[in-house]
């Protein structure tokens, strides 16, 4: 008896952003294969006896190759197990979920996709940056920073610079300088607003805002690294007014007073 594979989007980090359907399948699963950026709190919903398999990947370091992940999905399903592939964000947005679904089809294994909230939308929202706005942005694009240096993708920068109001870049921090260079070369103003949102939707979220010509220095000063979402466009200007989440976090921190001598108390 063949089981089934569920490609479940866990959302961008905040464990409460998983869908009700995703959570239901998580609780029913016999096997859960989960990624590095999945919030570990979600694994607490696994039933007793559920097998947990870590499939995390760091830049340049893969604990498990994609081909191996594909193999395990099919292997467990063919044993009759209900298999959840728990992926950060959405399975079909830079999550290689399409490849895993195709492997299921190839092997005759039934599958289902449970969409998740992707970081391009969620991290932006938690930073007070709407990816669309009636007067500021009528279009947006999701791109991966991994395409930087890809000769075949080079022509895309012209269209991104000229034809898209808001650009959300995944996995792009290490390529920030090149991304900026491409956008300015193909027509974006150096004064275009840009934000980097580090650990979006989590309690240690940090947002750094600047322009294409100033952001590199600000990112270096703030020591921003992966995982961070890059958002480029006029909507970034709304961050100062709509920054609800980080202001909420700061309001919940204990008050630290200073004495006349400058020493911190508490």
* Domains located in the chain, CATH noted: 4-117 (3.40.1010.10), 120-250 (3.30.950.10)
Q: Which two tokens stand for residue 55?
A: 């499939």
Q: Which of 14, 30, 35, 90 is catalytic?
A: 35
Low-confidence ranges of the chain (pLDDT < 70): 57-63, 147-153, 250, 253-266
229 is catalytic: no
- CA–CA distance, 160 with 162 (Å, rounded to integer): 6
pLDDT of residue 61: 58
240 catalytic? Reply is no
Cβ neighbours around 153 below 10 Å, total: 14
> What pLDDT shows up at residue 150?
62
The label of the residue with tokens 């830079």 reads 94
3-state SS, residue 50: coil
In the residue annotation, 106 being an active-site residue is answered as no
The DSSP output letter for 90 is -
Report pLDDT for 260.
Answer: 33
Give the Cα-Cα-Cα angle 197, 200, 205 (nearest 5 degrees): 80
Distance CA 238, CA 242 (A): 6
Catalytic one of 14, 30, 90, 171: 171
Give the pLDDT of residue 147: 67
User: Which residues make Cβ contacts (< 8 Å) with residue 12, sequence separation at least 6?
Assistant: 88, 89, 117, 118, 119, 122, 123, 200, 201
pLDDT of residue 209: 98
pTM of the model: 0.89
């Amino acid at each position: 008896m063949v089981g089934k594979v569920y490609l479940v989007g866990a959302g961008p980090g905040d464990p409460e952003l998983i869908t009700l359907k995703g959570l239901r399948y998580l609780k029913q699963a016999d096997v859960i294969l989960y990624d590095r950026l999945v919030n570990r709190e979600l694994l607490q919903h696994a039933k007793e006896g559920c097998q947990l398999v870590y499939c995390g990947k760091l830049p340049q370091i893969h604990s498990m190759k994609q081909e191996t992940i594909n193999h395990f999905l099919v292997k467990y399903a063919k044993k009759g197990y209900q298999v959840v592939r728990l992926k950060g964000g959405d399975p079909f947005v830079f999550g290689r979920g399409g490849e895993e679904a195709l492997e299921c089809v190839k092997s005759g294994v039934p599958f289902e996709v449970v969409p998740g909230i992707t970081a391009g939308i969620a991290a932006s929202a938690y930073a007070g940056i709407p990816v669309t706005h009636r007067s500021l942005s009528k279009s947006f694009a999701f791109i991966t920073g991994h395409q930087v240096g890809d000769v075949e993708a080079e022509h895309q920068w012209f269209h991104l610079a000229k034809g898209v109001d808001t650009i959300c870049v995944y996995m792009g921090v290490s390529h920030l300088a090149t991304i900026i260079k491409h956008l300015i070369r193909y027509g974006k103003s150096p004064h275009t607003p840009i934000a980097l949102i580090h650990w979006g939707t989590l309690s240690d979220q940090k947002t750094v805002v600047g322009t294409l010509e100033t952001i590199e220095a600000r990112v270096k000063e703030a020591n921003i690294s992966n995982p961070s979402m890059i958002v480029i466009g006029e909507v970034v200007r709304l961050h100062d007014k709509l920054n609800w989440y980080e202001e909420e976090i700061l309001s919940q921190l204990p008050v630290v007073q200073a004495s006349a001598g400058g020493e911190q108390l508490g």
